[in-house]
């Protein structure tokens, strides 16, 4: 049996969640089950639970993303949660940020195939791109790193009063507690744990929300951001 044959039937909830983009969501699932597995982007054992554990689990993140904002999906990997989010929210401007070439190649192919004109793929590491790309309203991430480490990469990419939304599992509360000091130093002013996807996924998707104040990344990154801005202005004048 091929990996594609193991793809389970599409859940009824997918039609409601993805709406006009339902066909594109199905095609994306097929790509994950085929090319995604062949290229080592997801494991073969994930194919039978692609819809509930991955596509729908990520798509419901849209419930807590504000309208019409710029989003950066850090460590996008195979496009989770960035591509499901893009399929349900065409009002967003989404950047899929990923350091590995084989993954960015896959992401670029998916974006072009599905006609996601509001999505841009960028190859690079978050810590290297601060000041080189416009700050965003929302940073998203899923299965990238523990919260304290993820925050050091994601929060500096935010604009003032932006927020980081990290899809987490059962460890969400524990991670949030252990990361409290680090988050405070990075400029976080409020944190919370949200549960989304009522009537769509079971269990509900768990999201850690980290809201920042006027200095995303704290004092340390404010200096780096100012230096990057000066460098950018100097380059434009040449």
Contact (CB, 8 A) for 180 and 223:
no
Return the pLDDT at 238: 62
CA distance readout (Å), 103 to 2, 55, 61, 95 = 22, 17, 22, 14
Q: What is the mean pLDDT of the chain?
A: 91
Q: Please state the rounded mean pLDDT for residues 187-213.
A: 97
Q: How many CB atoms lie within 10 A of CB 9?
A: 7
176 has a pLDDT exceeding 90: yes
Return the pLDDT at 8: 87
If one compares 1 and 164, the residue with the highest pLDDT of the two is: 164
Tens digit of pLDDT for each residue in 49-68? 999 999 999 999 999 999 99
Q: In which residue are the tokens 């809201």 written?
A: 211
Contact (CB, 8 A) for 74 and 144:
yes
User: pLDDT-derived band of residue 4, with 50, 70 and 90 as boundaries?
Assistant: very low
Element housing 136 (H / E): strand 136-142
Return the pLDDT at 3: 38
If one compares 1 and 156, the residue with the highest pLDDT of the two is: 156
Return the pLDDT at 7: 87
If one compares 54 and 2, the residue with the highest pLDDT of the two is: 54
User: pLDDT-derived band of residue 191, with 50, 70 and 90 as boundaries?
Assistant: very high
Return the pLDDT at 64: 98
Return the pLDDT at 222: 65
User: pLDDT-derived band of residue 224, with 50, 70 and 90 as boundaries?
Assistant: low
136 has a pLDDT exceeding 80: yes
228 has a pLDDT exceeding 70: no
2 has a pLDDT exceeding 60: no
User: pLDDT-derived band of residue 1, with 50, 70 and 90 as boundaries?
Assistant: very low
Tens digit of pLDDT for each residue in 72-113? 999 999 999 999 999 999 999 999 999 999 999 999 999 999
Q: In the beta sheet, which residues pair with residue 114?
A: none
If one compares 129 and 22, the residue with the highest pLDDT of the two is: 22
Return the pLDDT at 182: 94
229 has a pLDDT exceeding 90: no
Q: How many CB atoms lie within 10 A of CB 227?
A: 11
């Amino acid at each position: 049996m091929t990996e594609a044959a193991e793809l389970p039937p599409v859940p009824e909830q997918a039609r409601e969640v993805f709406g006009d983009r339902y066909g594109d969501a199905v095609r994306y699932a097929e790509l994950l089950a085929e090319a995604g597995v062949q290229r080592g982007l997801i494991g073969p054992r994930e194919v039978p639970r692609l819809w509930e554990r991955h596509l729908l689990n990520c798509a419901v993140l849209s419930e807590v993303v504000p309208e019409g904002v710029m989003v950066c999906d850090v460590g996008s990997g195979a496009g989770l949660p960035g591509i499901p989010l893009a399929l349900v929210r065409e009002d967003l401007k989404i950047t899929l940020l990923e350091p590995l070439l084989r993954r960015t190649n896959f992401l670029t192919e998916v974006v072009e195939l599905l006609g996601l004109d509001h999505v841009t793929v960028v190859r690079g590491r978050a810590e290297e791109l601060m000041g080189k790309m416009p700050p965003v309203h929302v940073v998203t991430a899923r299965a990238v790193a523990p919260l304290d480490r993820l925050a050091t990469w994601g929060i500096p990419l935010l604009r003032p009063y932006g927020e980081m939304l990290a899809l987490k599992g059962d460890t969400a509360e524990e991670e949030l507690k252990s990361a409290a000091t680090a988050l405070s130093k990075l400029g976080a002013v409020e944190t919370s744990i949200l549960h989304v996807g009522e009537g769509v996924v079971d269990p509900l998707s768990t999201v850690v929300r980290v809201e920042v104040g006027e200095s995303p990344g704290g004092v340390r990154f404010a200096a780096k951001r100012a230096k990057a801005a000066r460098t950018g202005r100097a380059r434009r004048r040449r």
